[in-house]
């Protein structure tokens, strides 16, 4: 295991950002920055041993400071959407920014990917880790409680990128943390991911209204284009005449994972026949947002000037269900004062 770090430039506010890179003995190489706790790059060997970056991203720090689509971003305090941009705890209503129509998305305009984090580095023979941490003060983004948060990224010799989220608050609050990396196993600049094959361990999903807020309904995937219980290409049914897909412009839906939640389990697998790469997803969280980059548009500062476009990446955002703070039948993202939030997501890479 090898960890190096170098300057990643200065933020608009004059803060010095650092880029950290972990390399394992297989040649897999993952880079992160303390600005926003972003995952900047993930270089994975293909079937011939050729290293390619499979994570869409930016060439420099300025790209991550803007980063409207959230490439590689650490998302919090609440990932995904909160209906009406408000919720209630202990009889008190908390109002949030309406940054997605009438709703709140990913915490608001200034998300957790917009701050500089304190850093700790840990090295062992078969694993190396980088921990990013900060205090999210009471009422930041409109959420109650001083929240001590950390996200730890680890690379193992088994080509696993392990993400562990820890948080503790001094008041009752809601917490729903995730990562918003866009994956393309052919390489970040390879265009459409519609020919990638996907399997998801899920029998049900949560349908939404037209503004992508769950209605509270739990719907079986059986007999619908939402069914990924057997491998199929992402593009096979993405343009089907099916209302949830039409409303979202593709897949942008929360899947109810068929796991017990007591341990980290495999919940999805993505395969790319062209490169021979595959990625397995593991988590202990109850849901996962499958997002096929339906709103991704060309932008500046991308890696190598790549011309990213709609459906050029796919996200696997492990999470509590969207708007669970307002739908009592959903698993709750309420974090009681003094209790610890602890979740794990693993992206494991291999080749045929």
In angstroms, rounded to a whole number, what is the distance separating the alpha carbons of residues 245 and 237? 9
- Active site annotation includes 106: no
- Active site annotation includes 317: yes
Could you give the 3-state DSSP secondary structure of residue 325?
helix
Name the active-site residue from 131, 140, 160, 317.
Answer: 317
Name the active-site residue from 106, 180, 188, 253.
Answer: 180
Contact indicator for 41, 30 with CB cutoff of 8 Å: yes
| Strands 287-291 and 252-257, sheet pairing | antiparallel
The H or E element containing residue 62 is helix 61-66
Q: Count other Cβ atoms within 10 Å, centred on residue 83.
A: 21
DSSP annotation of 176: B
Question: Cα–Cα distances in Å, from 247 out to 118, 182, 234?
Answer: 40, 21, 17
In angstroms, rounded to a whole number, what is the distance separating the alpha carbons of residues 163 and 154? 7
CB-based contacts of 129-135 (< 8 A; 24+ apart in sequence): 129/153, 129/154, 129/155, 130/3, 130/20, 130/22, 130/32, 130/154, 132/32, 132/34, 132/37, 132/74
Torsion angle of C-alpha atoms 348, 57, 271, 293, degrees rounded to 10: 120
| Strands 265-271 and 160-169, sheet pairing | unpaired
Q: Which residues contact 79 (CB under 8 A, 6 or more apart)?
A: 106, 107, 176, 177, 178, 180, 289, 317, 319
The set of catalytic residues is 180, 317
């Amino acid at each position: 295991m090898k960890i190096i770090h170098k300057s990643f430039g200065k933020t608009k506010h004059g803060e010095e950002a650092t880029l950290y890179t972990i390399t394992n003995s297989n040649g897999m190489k993952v880079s992160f920055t303390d600005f926003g706790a972003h995952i900047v790059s993930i270089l994975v060997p293909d079937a011939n041993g050729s290293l390619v970056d499979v994570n869409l991203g930016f060439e420099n720090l300025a790209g991550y400071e803007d980063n409207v689509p959230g490439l590689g971003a650490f998302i919090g305090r609440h990932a995904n959407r909160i209906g009406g941009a408000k919720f209630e705890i202990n009889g008190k209503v908390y109002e949030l920014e309406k940054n997605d129509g009438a709703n709140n998305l990913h915490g608001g305009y200034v998300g957790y990917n917009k701050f500089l984090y304190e850093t700790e580095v840990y090295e062992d023979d078969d694993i190396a880790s980088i921990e990013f941490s900060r205090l999210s003060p009471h009422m930041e983004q409109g959420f109650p409680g001083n929240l001590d948060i950390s996200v730890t990224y680890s690379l193992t010799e088994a080509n696993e990128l392990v993400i562990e989220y820890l948080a503790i608050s001094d008041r009752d609050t809601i917490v729903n943390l995730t990562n918003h990396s866009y994956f393309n196993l052919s390489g970040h600049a390879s265009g459409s991911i519609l020919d990638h094959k996907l399997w998801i361990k899920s029998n049900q999903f949560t349908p939404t209204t037209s503004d992508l807020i769950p209605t509270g309904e739990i719907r079986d995937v059986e007999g619908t284009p939402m069914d990924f219980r057997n491998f199929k290409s992402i593009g096979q049914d993405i343009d089907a005449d099916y209302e949830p897909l039409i409303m979202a412009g593709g897949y942008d839906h929360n899947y109810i994972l068929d796991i017990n939640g007591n341990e980290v389990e495999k919940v999805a697998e993505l395969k790319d026949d062209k490169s021979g790469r595959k990625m397995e997803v593991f988590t202990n969280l109850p849901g996962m947002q499958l997002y096929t980059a339906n709103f991704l548009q060309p932008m500046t500062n991308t890696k190598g000037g790549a011309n990213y476009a709609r459906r050029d990446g796919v996200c696997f955002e492990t999470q509590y269900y969207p708007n669970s703070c307002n739908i009592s039948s959903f698993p709750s993202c309420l974090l009681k004062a003094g209790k610890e939030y602890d979740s794990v997501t693993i992206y494991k890479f291999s080749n045929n």
